[in-house]
Amino acid sequence: MPRAAARRSGSMVPMLRTVFLYAAALLACAPALGQDYSGTYTAKNASGGTVTLTLEQDGEKQASGTLTGHGTSSLQVVARVESKGLRGTAGNAFGMLYLTGRLTDEELSIVLTEPDVGGKPNPKRATTLRLARMPVKMTPKDGALGEALTRNAWCSFAYTTSGTLGKERMQFLRNGLVNQTPGKQARWRVQNETLQFSRDGLTWSPERLRLALNSSGSPVLLAYDKEYVQCD
């Protein structure tokens, strides 16, 4: 090999090693960043009661919810989804705890850490909770409506006051989440052929939505004065 070519080949080795290390780091981060923490998680506390954590993930990086059954008052959770899991706080009017979490399969392990006098996490004053994600239940009777809702996204079109054509889109996911555009992610379920929505997974409100056929024979979703058609 000519000397100049050998020098070029040798100079590429560190560069290739850097590229490989960077790619490996991206692959290591990908599973955690791609996880969806939305759902309801439960566990038994020391007194035999139930600890319940409801989380709603907004996009890929933010998660919020409520933790009940851990102590005498509920805690509001605000966290960020990072490569190593959740990182944020859980608190109320009485104070705040640092929160970290890691989701493995259907088990969410969270660590609640008290702040020290300087406001930093005190690892000597920490509690670990291991919670199991509750499955989304759908009875056989409710399966027909649920199957129809999840088959396609649903869109509604209407002109705004400025004369532009506006679009609303709902995507019902089989994991019990519904993505609304514009709007925030929520949870959905069907009970007795009635569609229900929830923001926290605990309080559910029925929605007057029903499936029907329009005059051309296509399925539509009717809601008050709106009509949703199947869309991509």
pLDDT in tens, 106-115: 899 999 999 9
pLDDT digits (tens, 9 = 90+) for 165-176: 888 898 998 888
Write out the two tokens for 70.
């851990």
Residue 106 maps to which CATH number?
Answer: 2.40.128.30
The answer to whether residues 224 and 147 belong to one domain is yes
CA dist., res. 73 & res. 78, Å (int): 16
- Among 116, 133, 150, the domain boundary falls at 133
* Domain around 192: 140-231
**Contact call for residues 128 and 45 (beta carbons, < 8 A):** no
Angstrom distance (rounded) from CA 144 to CA 175 = 16
Do 62 and 127 fall within a single domain? Answer: yes
pLDDT tens, 100-149? Answer: 999 998 899 999 999 999 999 999 999 999 999 987 554 434 567 788 88
Domain boundary among 95, 111, 133: 133
